């Protein structure tokens, strides 16, 4: 396995929201593992970054949490996407698609005039 990179600034909320949209309610460890798995294990997710991001998303109303029992029978906080979170996910996905398209213009060879 190659070197892992840190999650890019500004992308964590998008990745968390998308993970919850596709996987349904998850606890923090499950969210982290899924993000790393989806990246092909190229991203390293720092738990000191994940949990504050989850707290911020919850305070913003994008996600809700409740205590439950994990697969290994431990108490865990499960997060789920809210209606406001779905709208935020749509906005953030559009913004990142636009940003990626702009950067792609700089990286592609210039067209002959």
**Is the CB of residue 62 less than 8 Å from the CB of residue 42?**
no
In a domain, 102, yes or no: yes
For 6, the token pair is: 């840190």
Whole-number Å distance between alpha carbons of 30 and 83: 21
pLDDT of residue 57: 97
| Mean pLDDT, range 64-93, rounded to an integer | 95
pLDDT over threshold 80, residue 90: yes
In a domain, 35, yes or no: yes
Please write the tens of the pLDDT for every residue from 26-37: 999 999 999 999
Percent of the chain surpassing pLDDT 70: 93
C-alpha neighbours within 13 Å on the C-beta side of residue 61: 4
Structural domain range at position 87: 5-107
Three-state DSSP state, 53: helix
pLDDT over threshold 70, residue 59: yes
Q: pTM for the complete prediction?
A: 0.85
Q: What is the CATH number of the domain that holds 61?
A: 1.10.10.10
pLDDT of residue 81: 98
pLDDT of residue 1: 46
Whole-number Å distance between alpha carbons of 16 and 107: 28
């Amino acid at each position: 396995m190659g070197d892992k990179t840190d999650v890019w600034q500004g992308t964590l909320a998008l990745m968390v929201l998308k993970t919850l949209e596709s996987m349904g309610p998850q606890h923090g460890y499950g969210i982290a593992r899924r993000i790393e798995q989806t990246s092909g294990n190229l991203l390293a997710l720092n738990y000191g970054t994940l949990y504050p991001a989850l707290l911020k998303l919850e305070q913003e109303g994008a996600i809700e949490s409740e205590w439950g029992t994990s697969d290994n029978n431990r108490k865990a906080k499960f997060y789920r996407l809210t209606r406001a979170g779905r709208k935020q996910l749509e906005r953030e996905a559009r913004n990142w698609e636009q940003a990626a398209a702009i950067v792609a213009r700089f990286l592609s060879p210039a067209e002959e005039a």
